[in-house]
Amino acid sequence: MAGAPRKKLVGRYEVGRTIGQGSFAKVKFAVDSDTGVPVAMKVLDKATILNHRMLQQIKREISIMKIVRHPNIVRLNEVLAGRTKIYIILELITGGELFDKIARQGKIRENEARKYFQQLIDAIDYCHSKGVYHRDLKPENLLLDSRGNLKVSDFGLSTLSQNGVGLLHTTCGTPNYIAPEVLSNDGYDGSAADIWSCGVILYVLMAGYLPFEENDLPTLYDKITAAQFSCPDWFSPGAKSMIQRILDRNPKTRITIEEIRADPWFKKNYVALRRGEDENVSLDDVQAVFDDIEDKYVSEGVTHKDGGPLIMNAFEMITLSQGLDLSSLFDRQQEYVKRQTRFVSRKPAKTIVATIEVVADSMGLKVHSQNYKMRLEGVSANKMSPFAVVLQVILPST
């Protein structure tokens, strides 16, 4: 019909409404015109990826998601490229986050919690068999499909071990779910660290709250390092034993996935998945999508002509950490003291600043930036109290 609206097509996909949006991407509902199957289409802007130095991270995440093809992992079907956009075609998951279910119900019945835990262990065991370590397992990254089956998502912090051996050294993850050894500087086994996070998730499912929760990070990390927690009275003996064996502060004596699968509590009503033969996965489309981005968009990169971030030796950093006060950086008078927090990152200073700016902008905060010093200004959720956060990037001297 002459008056009918034209459908927007990307490749063979008919693109519909926006169903999600983040700092770096939009997620659209789409339909495969060949099969009629609905999918989720994640749309990323090439120039934004390059400007915010996200190229390698996103390429790694997409590659990993193509490698891990399991019934309990969100499936990445293919990657397409337009002139200015990247389109990631994903399995459409309609049941929401496991976190939302916990928020609505509070604690979940033991049999149901065990089913989710079994599916989580199956998925993570498969990832580890491929040399993939997730490193940010939490209920927010676990989705539910229309049948109530668990799907692991968000591999943005994951890593791929080329030979399956060796310790990891990047401190990353969500504080309440992070393993004790990740907080040290001695390196950690990605498999044992993921298992710890699975144990915290099982605890949250059955209790309705976290085993480790404090208002400030130092106290939280002290509790995690000491594995200081207790199980509620309503946990069955089998569930308590399982959680205590997982939340073992020593990764060398922590229960393994093989031992989890052999545990009587875990085996109850457990149906092992028949995965069949592994698919031959090609990363050619991923490579093709990213091959020309840097050449084509290099002129849009951001440069900083300044003196660079402050550099301090270890002694100066320790001295500063006893009373970090950056309130004078922008010549503003402060009549009260706010909590001071220090974070450590292996990312370049420019990447840290750029990422903070993007996140602050997405939250509606005003950003004042000068020579790696930043002031973020906003208004509290009740619209009554203004607040400010001051940050500075400091590099250790060599």
Binding-site residues for ATP: 42
For residues 89 and 87, what is the distance between their CA atoms, to the nearest angstrom? 6
Spatial distance between the Cα atoms of 191 and 127, rounded to a whole number of angstroms: 9
Q: Which of 4, 51, 24 is nearest to 301 (CA)?
A: 51
Reference 352, options 396, 306, 294, 393; nearest CA is: 393
Instruction: Using DSSP, state whether 22 is helix, strand or coil.
Output: coil
- Binding-site residues from annotation: 42
Neighbour-count burial of 193, counting CB atoms closer than 10 A to its CB (0-12 exposed, 13-18 middle, 19+ buried):
buried
For residue 218, how far is the Cα from the chain centroid?
21
Residue 136: active-site member: yes
Supply φ then ψ for residue 52, to 5 degrees.
Answer: -100, 20
Identify the active-site residue in 122, 125, 136, 189: 136
Cβ pair 193, 135 in contact under 8 A: yes
Show the tokens assigned to 150: 């668990």
Strand order in the sheet with 76-81: 8-10, 13-21, 25-32, 38-45, 85-91, 76-81
User: What's the CA gap between 377 and 383, in Å, rounded?
Assistant: 13
In the chain, alpha helices (H): 46-51, 55-67, 98-105, 110-129, 190-207, 217-226, 237-246, 257-262, 264-267, 284-291, 293-297, 314-321, 349-362
Euclidean distance between CA atoms 78 and 97, whole angstroms? 23
Sign (positive or negative) of CA dihedral 317, 318, 319, 325: positive
Tokens of 315: 């002694």
Phi, psi of 290 (to 5 degrees): -95, -10
Question: Considering only CA atoms, which of 201, 193, 207 is closest in space to residue 249?
Answer: 193
Contact assessment for residue 204 and residue 246, using Cβ atoms and an 8 Å cutoff: no
What is the set of active-site residues? 136
